[in-house]
Chain A
Amino acid sequence: MKVLIVEDNKELASGISDYLNGEKYICELAYDFEAAREKLLLFTYDCILLDIMLPDGNGLELLKVIRKENISSGVLIISAKDALDDKVNGLEGGADDYVTKPFHLPELHARLRAIYRRKKLEGSSNLITFNEIVLNTDTVEATVNNTLLDVTRKEFDLLLYFVVNKNRVLSKQSIAAHLWGDYTDSLANFDFVYQHVKNLRKKISAAQGIDYIETVYGLGYKFNTSKT
């Protein structure tokens, strides 16, 4: 996947690109409006990460350019403003999704994947397969070795999050934010994360699946693909 990261903060841009490079994506960086516009007109990208506040212009203006030039890339807006107007304007302006700073990199990645699936693969790939695990994002069904897992919506989301961010350390905070949103007010979420992960592992093991999910001491969990 080829991604254009439009973000004026160089450290953040490089952080995102480091993470996405780990997924074997090709990332290009644009630190301002003009550079982004130029790149958009010259090259094609599968996805664009777009910061709204740029030193020389508004990211929403860039959305207009994207629409005018019929660029078919998926657009994920990153903004520090979680003002509602911005969200609505962004989505009405042709963006596919919206994350607010400070986001978790796995979350960003998961959303990027979702956009990619929807937009580039045109929904043909509503099945996400990893070895014996198959996830159907349309029907919200998970199967392991062709056995249907009896998972809740939250557990399905959790498994999907793990599969998309495989071999990554997923912090408890990031999982909590993914499952319950940003406004959960840190409701001692981490016990709940533990509960959900435990249940999920139990259910996968019960279906004779490999227990890929391992605990990373002090941090969270990891979907370790090298487990057999």
Chain B
Amino acid sequence: MKLLNKVTIWFVGIVFLITPITMIISRTNIKRNLDQAEVERMREVNDRVARQLEAGEKPDRYTHGRPIAILPIQGPLPAEKESVVIDNFVSEDLGQKECRITVNSFYQVGDQAYEISSFNYVIKSEEIFKGMLSAVVWKVLLILLAVSLTARLLSKKVFKPFHRTMKAIHQFDLKQKQPIQLPPTSTKEFQELNSFIKKMTDKAMDDYAAVKEFSENASHELQTPLAVIRSKLELLSETNIDGTQAALIGDMQNAIEKLSHINRSLLLLTKLENQEYKAYETIKFCRVTKEVIAMYDDWLSMKEITLTTSLDKNIPLIIHPSLAEMLISNLMSNAIRHNHEKGMIRVELTRKDFCISNTGLPPEIPTHELFQRFKKSNQSNESIGLGLAIVKQICEVNGFLITYEYQNGWHLIRIVFEPGKKGDSIRSAKELETVTI
């Protein structure tokens, strides 16, 4: 929901909540003041009548035609000199509600005590309420109209810097090394927002540069000592050494091999994450696939693995050529390594996807976890567990979708080049069918 609509709804809600409360308050106030005024007036009348009685005049002047009663009473005056009675009743002849106020005053005129009572019909609170209600309905309607109209008009003006900032953030690209340009604004909040965003993006750019620099430096700094160790070991193995020493050197060489491979793979992953391998031109993916597969002839024949391929021709794809090569070769070596002797590998390439399936032991951990770094199905395995992580990363960089399934002794890795297109799921089901046969 738009911020504007939210604020409007809240505002209207508050108006609806406050209005009845204020109505009740004003009704009570009006009613009380009216009653008070009436009581005041009648008390005044009673006083005057009493003064006339005292003066011995006939109180006709006031009593005539007025709802006033003068009653001589027996006994002494009551303690209260005055009592006010408000009656709400349904009048019998009119059949409607009435409100009557009676003011009874007590006076001592000579030896005689008098009770002078005035009464009058006053306006009922319901009547006040009715009058107020129509006014309030109009008021609320007007407020609603005004709020929603002005909010819309004002927001366009007030939120303009905000929208421009949003646009600038949207267009900001870390890799272009261009500091973000934000429009100036006079609103304090937006100024704060802009300065915050500016600071954040600048920091992100610095960090990005630092990470890139670090990966380059780490590469250089680690590869050189590795090269030193490796070359010195090679020189050492040329010297006069006995069998035990040779075995020790051999172990060290293995470890260095692994170390340098891990280092290289991690650097590659970092570079992929930094999107350093941007592809700008199309390559013929079918040709790359064929070439890479041919490189594995030796392995296949030595493990006596049967390879069946069905590669469609003329498949152009936008991907960095080295990444394409690495993708296929990682998948191939993976399919060979985790295969058993005399196993099978099936490679299929179509315009839509690339599928590689191989026989092998069932995975010991859920297949999707195998894409994580250093995750291996068999922890004691010689591999370092970065091959599939690299494959996954390459797919992510190029917007491919990769899935890994295991069914009936077959490992199936499938890469969809343009995920989201129709017809993919159908093919997947078909694929599995043929594989399981």
Contacts and interface: CB of A to CB of B under 8 A. Distances in A.
A102 B226 contact: yes
Interface string A66-96: 0000000000000011111000000000000
B234 A105 contact: yes
Contact of A83 (B221, B254, B271, B333): B271
Interface string A167-192: 01101011000001011111110011
Given A15-B232, A185-B387, A186-B261, A83 B238 contact: no
B329 interface: yes
Contacts, number: 126
A187 B336 contact: yes
A127 B329 CA distance: 33
Contact of A219 (B221, B226, B246, B326): B246
Contacts of A191: 302
Interface in B197-222: 216, 219-222
B120 interface: no
A40 interface: no
Contact of A82 (B228, B238, B264): B264
Nearest to A188: B382
Contact of A101 (B226, B243, B277): B226
Contacts of A100: 223
B299 A187 contact: yes
A224 B246 CA distance: 17
A60 to B, nearest CB: 15
Nearest to A10: B228
Give the size range of A's interface with the partner.
35 or more
A217 B229 contact: no
Contacts of B237: 169, 171, 216, 219
A15 B228 contact: yes
A202 interface: no
Interface string A90-118: 00000000001111111000000000000
Give the size range of B's interface with the partner.
35 or more
A38 interface: no
Contacts of A218: 243, 246-250
B182 interface: no
B230 interface: yes
A218 B330 CA distance: 29
A101 B223 contact: yes
A182 B382 CA distance: 16
Contacts of A104: 230-231, 234
Contacts of A132: none
Contacts of B221: 80
A190 to B, nearest CB: 9
A105 B231 contact: yes
Interface of B: 216, 219-224, 226-232, 234-235, 237-238, 243, 246-250, 253-254, 256-258, 260-261, 264, 267, 271, 276-277, 295, 298-299, 302, 320, 322, 326, 329-330, 333, 336-337, 382-384, 387
10 contacts: A15-B231, A102-B231, A104-B230, A169-B237, A171-B234, A171-B253, A185-B383, A186-B384, A216-B237, A216-B246
Given A22-B238, A105-B231, 15 more contacts: A9-B224, A12-B224, A15-B232, A19-B234, A81-B216, A82-B264, A102-B223, A105-B234, A169-B234, A169-B237, A183-B326, A216-B237, A218-B246, A218-B249, A220-B250
> Which 5 A-B residue pairs are closest in the complex by CB-CB distance?
A15-B231, A102-B227, A80-B223, A218-B247, A102-B226
